[in-house]
Structure formats: structure tokens, C-alpha cells
Amino acid sequence: MKASVRFRVFLYVCAALILIYSLFPIYWITISPLRGFSGFFQDANKWYPTGFDLTLFRNIWNETNYPIYYLNSFVVASATTLITILLSAMMAYVLTRFRFIGRSLMLNAMLIGYMLPPLLLAIPMLGIFIALGIDDTIFALTISHIAITLPFGVWMLVSFFKTIPFELEESAWVDGANRGRSLVQVLIPLMLPGIISVGVFSFIVSFTDYTFGLMIVSSEHNKTIPVGLATIKESVTLQRGELLAGAAMIALPMVVLFSFVSKYFIKGLVAGAVKG
């Protein structure tokens, strides 16, 4: 009995350590800029929040293109998510419901494509975008993000579609539904968890991407937050406090949004392959 109590104490200490490990940096990024100009350096050694001054947050929002970056990030991430969900669900359906030559080849190509280094793809991709005259646009950036999210989405949804018995669909056909209708009314509702997982994954990948953004967009009005914030970091006009405010303004919304969908993200992660 005594050993068991000791074990429980040990367990809760470990749990607390995991909590600190996971959240302390976020906590610190948030409370430091909240100390405002005067407290930022002065109170830098205090463990607890010492102020609620939004000046630094307001500064980065008003004095840089931060709002534009924010908007771009949401547009790109949303577009990537929608396109990925739509195309990967369609492909996964075809790949699991039909027998045809080249099916395994396609699946394997997806898997290999998923493992290719981003830089290897980004260099020629930029060449293609320049040739097409769409370099330095958020449209091109969206397409480049799909290079990561589409193969993952197809794999993930193929494994989902396989778990849904064909009989279900067949009985819908017997009842007079055609392929399209049985897909929408029978399969999609069953697939919803998988589709949400792919969506959450795509959104996070696209929203946090720095590598493709850095290479593909260069004008201020096309930059996403990671690229824009890195630009601000290199410029000397702003102080450290503002930079941290900027970091907090991207990290916190991610954590809040994520808290609603963590279940689906973990599922995708465990399914074998969230890139990171």
C-alpha cells in the first residue's frame, strides 16, 4: 500500500513536469511582452506575471504589416485545408473502391513524395512558378503547401475508407442511390473523423510553414506570419519586446484553436505520419 502511494506521488510529479515542459515556453512568451516597455527587462527574472500592458502588442500590430501577414496566413491555410480535404477524399475513394492498373504505383508514389526533402521540391517549384508567372503569390504558396498535405491526406483517408464495409454502400445502391449520392449520404458522415483529422493537419502544416513561404513569396503584402515575423526579426526598428508580442500572437491562437481539435490531430499523428 505504501509503495502504491509513493508511486502515485511520483506519477503526479512526472505529470507536473510534463505540464511545465510543454507549456512553460508558451507561458513565458506570453507574460514577458505583457510587462510592457518598462517591465520587460526590469522584471525579466520574475516567474510570475507582473503586468497587463498591451503596448508591445499594439506596437507590432500597428507599426508593421502584421495584420496583413495574419490575413494571408489564414487565407493560405484555409485554402490548403479545403483543397486537400476535397482532393484527397476523392482520390482515396477511387483508390479504395476501384481495381485498376497503376493503383499501387500511385499509392507508393504518394508515400515517396511525402518523404522528399522540402528544399528539393521548393527549388524547381519556384522555377515552375516563375515560368507560369505566378511566383510570389499566395496562390503559388497554397499550391506548394499541398505538396506536403495531399500525399498525407490521401494515405490517411485510404486507411479510413478501408475500414468502411462495402456492403453499406451497396445497400444504398440497392435502395436506388447512385455512386455520388451514396458517397455523400453514407460514406462522408462515416468518414467525418478522418476528414477532420486531415483538415486539422493541413491547417497546422500550412499555418506554421516557414520553408516554402521563405522561398516562394517575397513581397510584403504576400507574406505569411512565420515569414513576416522573421523579416521583422531581421530588421532593427523593433525591440525584443515587440518581437515576443508577435510570437505570442501567433502561438496563443494556435494553442487555443488546437485545444478544440487536439483529439483529431493526435489521431492523425498516430496514423503514422504527421510531418514535422
The mark string for 200-229 relative to another protein (x by CB under 8 A, - otherwise) is ----x--xx-xx--xx---------xx--x
Q: In terms of CB distance, is 54 or 132 closer to another protein?
A: 132
User: Could you say whether residue 141 binds another protein (CB under 8 A)?
Assistant: no
Distance of closest approach, residue 54 Cβ to another protein, in angstroms: 18
Distance of closest approach, residue 187 Cβ to another protein, in angstroms: 11
Chain-centroid distance of CA 121 in Å reads: 19
How many CB atoms are located within 10 Å of the residue 243 CB? 16
Q: Note whether 195 and 261 are within 8 A (CB).
A: no
Tell me the three state secondary structure of residue 148: helix
- Give the binding-site size for another protein (rule: CB under 8 A): 116
| Integer angstrom CA distances of residue 142 from 46, 169, 225 | 42, 34, 14
In the set 63, 173, 175, 179, which binds another protein (CB under 8 A)? Answer: 179
User: Could you say whether residue 69 binds another protein (CB under 8 A)?
Assistant: no
Gap between the terminal Cα atoms of the chain: 43
User: Could you say whether residue 172 binds another protein (CB under 8 A)?
Assistant: no
Distance of closest approach, residue 62 Cβ to another protein, in angstroms: 19
In the set 56, 60, 91, 172, which binds another protein (CB under 8 A)? Answer: 91
Q: Note whether 140 and 174 are within 8 A (CB).
A: no
- CA dist 96 and 94 (Å) reads 6
- CA dist 271 and 276 (Å) reads 14
User: Could you say whether residue 270 binds another protein (CB under 8 A)?
Assistant: yes
User: Could you say whether residue 45 binds another protein (CB under 8 A)?
Assistant: yes
Q: Closest Cα to residue 224, out of 198, 203, 199?
A: 203
In the set 28, 38, 175, 220, which binds another protein (CB under 8 A)? Answer: 28
In the set 54, 184, 188, 255, which binds another protein (CB under 8 A)? Answer: 255
